[in-house]
């Protein structure tokens, strides 16, 4: 995808192509300004400050274990970091999303597929991004939870797309029903004894049909991000 996002700001007309640091064997976001991004069909444009006029950052197919330093990196390489609308962090080793993700208030899309995020609670920070409407998570352990998709739609009511599939009105209705049923089950559990909620999925994992799965002890084959 070469087009930049039109964020509606006066700066948006100057945005160039995505800033692409994919396939660079990056394990730390420090000093990324010293590296040149991959060339795209459209030429990268720099501002007088030397930073790039882009609102899309690609860091796919690297070795990142968290997002620490992401905003500082954006400050170093992007002219308007507050206008970044799309982050591609797919196919890394990410387990934790740090709070500096909140420094991107215009963020609309985040690709996290092919990482190592285990729990819904690890994603809770993303709920604080007011404009986020598209998330990818397939290929993470979290997708092995029962009712994964419904749970994600419950957690992010404004989602329009999850794992490259449109969130339908029927799915939103089902997610709301899921919340009601869970609340009823919780009350019933409280009346009969301690709740077993909040546990991680069983190790045997009942996989969803068509889900991306990583064999035990094997890192997924690096791929181009979609």
The predicted structure's pLDDT at residue 104: 98
pLDDT tens-digit readout, 133-149:
999 999 999 999 998 99
pLDDT tens-digit readout, 191-204:
655 443 444 554 44
**Domain layout of the chain by residue ranges:** 12-144
Please give the full DSSP string across 86-114, using - where no structure is assigned. Answer: EEE--SS---B--GGGGG-TT--EEE-TT
Q: Which segments in the chain show pLDDT lower than 70?
A: 1-14, 40-42, 184-226
End-to-end distance of the chain based on CA atoms, in angstroms? 9
**Correct CATH for 12-144 of 2.40.30.110, 3.80.10.10, 3.90.850.10, 3.40.50.1820:** 3.80.10.10
- CA-to-CA distance for 208 and 226, rounded, in angstroms? 21
Count other C-beta atoms under 10 Å from residue 150's C-beta: 19
DSSP 8-state secondary structure symbol assigned to residue 127:
G
């Amino acid at each position: 995808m070469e087009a930049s996002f039109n964020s509606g700001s006066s700066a948006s007309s100057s945005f160039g192509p995505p800033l692409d640091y994919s396939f660079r064997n990056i394990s730390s976001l420090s000093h990324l300004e010293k590296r040149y991004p991959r060339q795209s069909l459209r030429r990268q444009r720099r501002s007088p400050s030397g930073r790039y006029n882009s609102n899309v950052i690609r860091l796919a197919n690297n070795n990142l274990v968290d997002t620490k330093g992401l905003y500082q990196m954006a400050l170093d390489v992007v002219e308007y970091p507050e206008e970044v609308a799309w982050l591609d962090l797919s196919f890394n080793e990410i387990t934790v999303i740090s709070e500096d993700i909140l420094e991107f208030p215009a963020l609309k899309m985040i690709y996290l597929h092919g990482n190592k995020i285990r729990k819904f609670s690890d994603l809770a920070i993303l709920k604080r991004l007011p404009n986020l409407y598209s998330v990818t998570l397939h290929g993470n352990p979290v997708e092995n939870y029962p009712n994964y998709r419904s749970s994600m739609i419950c957690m992010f009511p404004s989602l329009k797309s999850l794992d490259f599939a449109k969130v339908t009105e029927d799915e939103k209705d089902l997610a709301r029903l899921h919340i009601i049923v869970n609340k009823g089950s919780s009350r019933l559990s409280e009346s009969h004894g301690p709740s077993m909620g909040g546990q991680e999925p069983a190790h045997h994992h009942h996989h969803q049909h068509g889900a991306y799965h990583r064999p035990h002890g094997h890192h997924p084959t690096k791929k181009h991000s979609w």
